[in-house]
Structure 1
Amino acid sequence: MIGAGQKWAILLVVVTVTVAGVLHSSEAGPVLVFAAAVVALAGIAYVIGEATNQLGNHLSAAATGIIQSALGNLPELFVCVFALRAGSVEVVQAALIGSILATAVLILGAAIIAGSVRYGVLKFASRTPRMIAVLLMLAVSALVLPTVAYELHLPAGQHKAQLAVACAIVLLLVFAVSTWAMLQDGQRGVPAEARKRPHIWPLWLAASILGIGAVATVLVSDWFVQALNPAILRLGISPSFAGMVVVALASNTVGVVEIRLALQGKIDLAVSVALNGALQVAIVLIPALILISHFFIGGTSLTLAIPPIMAVAVGLSVLVVTLVCVDGRADIVDGVALVGLYFLIAAIFWWG
């Protein structure tokens, strides 16, 4: 059942969510509410990651990687939905691009560094990372081409909303086919070493905690977004940097799971979770938010015509990630290069 450390983690999440709720209800200062919501989101993301990691005792590595990545994006989904309702399209675009960069560049780089320090050169199956890299390039194309069409004033650029909906449908169809292929290619059954691990949660417990975590995510995301713009103004942070770095990192703190997996020597699963996280933002979360904003929210719709510098940043990042993962080997230099690239991009957006 639940270990002592896991119980303390869940208790701390309950406390942080409660504190964030009290501060929100009492209309405390926006910076304080924002900080409390960030901490609560981080805790929720950690518990969701732990519960999903427990599913690895009952599912294949491929299925666990996909589910873990999808549930890890729950905070991002709800934060973006509430931000779109508030009309913060610029922040949402930056947060989505930042989420791809945080997962595929920063978190993967940190996991590689952690694993390399402990085990030296890391070796992992390259077929799935290569497939994910191809799909990420497709997603980048869906971002770059509408941006180019809009910036060059091509006829398609005058129909941003319709073009975004068409691209969203294509990306979701590609995701459905690729998910089926990854599940077919993944290992089946419960790994033998999983049965020997202590504090294994039964399936019903992991599912229950995931459900409670999803509900808590909805509540805290709403508080987070309500405090976001006032906190940005108070702190003097540009909306682009707030979305690209602050919101993206606050919604992706589940990345500690990838680092822990790398330290445990499970580099295949760590790479799968990190790359699947970025992939699902690119070809599931972004298309889903486009359709939600276009058909359900109203007002300004989310489109794929992003600032050119964002398109360049995400394109170069996916290219570097592909070069790192394509041969199934990585070392500390690869990890440092990825982390360094992330901080270079973050520095560019500090001024907006």
Structure 2
Amino acid sequence: MLKKPKQAPQKVKSKALFATAAIYQPSIHWLAIFVPISFAVAFIPIIRNEVGLFFTSCLGLIVVAYWIGEATDQLAERVGTIWGGMLNAAFSNLPELIFGLIAVAKGLGPLAKAAWTGAIISNMLVVVGAAILVGGYRYGTVTFPLERAKDAAAGLMIAATAILMPSIYAHAVDFSSEKISANDVITDVSVWLCVFLLMAYGGSLVYALAKSRVVGVFERSPLEQTPALEAKLPWSVNFCVGVLAVSSVLIAMLSNFVADCVDSITAGLGWTEIFVGAIIIGIIGNVGALMSAVLVAVRNKMDLSFEIGMNAASQIALLVIPTLIISSNVVGKPVDFLFSPPQIAALVGSVMIVAQISQDGRCNWLNGLQMLIFFGVIGVLFYFDPT
């Protein structure tokens, strides 16, 4: 009896055609072209342009931040809930941390503080707001665990209050008759507050791990791999680690380009430093969290979207900012918790809106739209800020 010819070549050909077609579909990965363009503009004198370098570097940062988020998500899927949460805590705010370190090292304290402000408010308003808008538009009223929402909102209120207290103190107290300057007092107070904020972050990690053990949330051991899981996730563990390593180097170099071009942007385009740091850099650093939150909101997992945004904002306030302030004192270019009145108003307003929306564990697309509109209001005020 004659055997039927094998169809393997046809299958291989079909897969190749599918992969080729996928390449030409619109994707955020297309922005990767701006990474080599940024290096060319930075190092080839004949085409160097500060304004052009700023925009190409920002576009390159967007895709690199997305790669970090994607690699972290895929590693988290393999190692389980607890270890996955720790990975997300370590890498989700890596762009903000690296940019902050570079800005502090260059003596750009106001730019670094503006970026911190933007990272917190964009996580609360843009990441959570966009997820609520998309999820609410698709499913109507969406819900999330009320207890977790209250814990997250309370933690952010405490962190925001601790961050803003030195600013309020500096604006309210008259140091003209004192022997010590206001800057010295605020610097010392900021260092002590960093210690307490880091303690609060450590306590939140211990609480999360203890609670996970109580409820028995262990999906798999860190070393467990299954064929079904490997088929579902296209990136291997080694590839994810490689992406994180390469992306960290790229973010450091691109962030350095952006920091060097800030003066040209403020002088040439009339953008204020606080607008560049809080709005432009703040949004770029949260691209990965934004896309992750929106994607899970489309799957009607609003609780996960809420946690992505709120946890990222908490990590900025409790981990990234204290780390950067302590680092600035180590390198001899101290940065403190002295924020301008517009930054204070933006932080307080954002925390109040998130606390109000999350008080009953229910929200709809209008709430998401309101959060995005408020972020737009902040952006306009920062754009015209004269300080």
Q: Same fold (TM over 0.5)?
A: yes
Structure 2: how far apart are the matches of 1:170 and 1:218? Answer: 28
- 1:264 is displaced (CA, Å) by 2.3
Per the alignment, residue 60 of structure 2 pairs with 40
1:284-303 matches, cutoff 5 A: 284-296=319-331, 298-299=332-333, 301-303=334-336
C-alpha spacing 1:13/1:342, structure 2 compared with 1 (3 Å)? closer
Q: Is the 8 A contact 2:325 2:336 kept in 1?
A: yes
1:319 aligned to 343, 347, 352, which one? 352
Per the alignment, residue 331 of structure 1 pairs with 364
Q: Which amino acid aligns with 1:226?
A: D
1:1-352 matches, cutoff 5 A: 12=30, 14-27=32-45, 28-61=48-81, 63-65=83-85, 67-153=87-173, 157=182, 159-186=185-212, 187-190=217-220, 195=229, 198-254=232-288, 255-296=290-331, 298-299=332-333, 301-352=334-385
Q: Which amino acid aligns with 1:250?
A: I
Aligned residue for 1:159, secondary structure, equals helix
| Deviation string, structure 1 residues 81-105 (Cα, Å, up to 9, x no partner) | 2222222211111111111011111
Structure 1: how far apart are the matches of 2:292 and 2:149? Answer: 18
Aligned residue for 1:210, secondary structure, equals helix
Q: Which amino acid aligns with 2:304?
A: L
Give 5+ residue unaligned stretches, structure 2: 1-17
Q: Is the 8 A contact 2:115 2:282 kept in 1?
A: yes
Aligned residue for 2:160, secondary structure, equals helix
C-alpha spacing 1:332/1:14, structure 2 compared with 1 (3 Å)? closer
Structure 2: how far apart are the matches of 1:65 and 1:39? Answer: 28
Aligned residue for 1:135, secondary structure, equals helix
| Deviation string, structure 1 residues 284-338 (Cα, Å, up to 9, x no partner) | 1110110000112x23x11111112311220121121122223322211211121
| Deviation string, structure 1 residues 118-138 (Cα, Å, up to 9, x no partner) | 222112223333222111111
Q: Which amino acid aligns with 2:219?
A: G
Q: Is the 8 A contact 1:46 1:257 kept in 2?
A: no
Structure 1: how far apart are the matches of 2:203 and 2:164? Answer: 23
State the superposition RMSD in angstroms. 2.6
C-alpha spacing 1:32/1:312, structure 2 compared with 1 (3 Å)? same
- 1:6 is displaced (CA, Å) by 9.2
Structure 1: how far apart are the matches of 2:104 and 2:352? Answer: 30
Structure 2: how far apart are the matches of 1:216 and 1:23? Answer: 15
Q: Looking at CA atoms only, which structure, 1 or 2, has the larger radius of gyration?
A: 2
Aligned residue for 2:219, secondary structure, equals coil
Q: Is the 8 A contact 1:34 1:224 kept in 2?
A: yes
Q: Which amino acid aligns with 2:207?
A: A
Structure 2: how far apart are the matches of 1:91 and 1:199? Answer: 38
| Deviation string, structure 1 residues 54-79 (Cα, Å, up to 9, x no partner) | 13422444653553354232111121
Structure 2: how far apart are the matches of 1:345 and 1:113? Answer: 19
Q: Which amino acid aligns with 1:208?
A: G
Q: Is the 8 A contact 1:66 1:273 kept in 2?
A: no
Alignment TM-score, normalising by the size of structure 1: 0.90
Structure 1: how far apart are the matches of 2:89 and 2:63? Answer: 16
Structure 2: how far apart are the matches of 1:264 and 1:129? Answer: 19
- 1:10 is displaced (CA, Å) by 8.8
Structure 1: how far apart are the matches of 2:97 and 2:245? Answer: 15
Per mean C-alpha deviation after superposition, the further-off stretch among 97-106 and 6-15 is: 6-15
- 1:185 is displaced (CA, Å) by 2.7
C-alpha spacing 1:283/1:240, structure 2 compared with 1 (3 Å)? same
- 1:177 is displaced (CA, Å) by 0.9
Q: Which amino acid aligns with 1:267?
A: M
Aligned residue for 1:306, secondary structure, equals coil
C-alpha spacing 1:344/1:190, structure 2 compared with 1 (3 Å)? farther
Q: Which amino acid aligns with 1:181?
A: Y
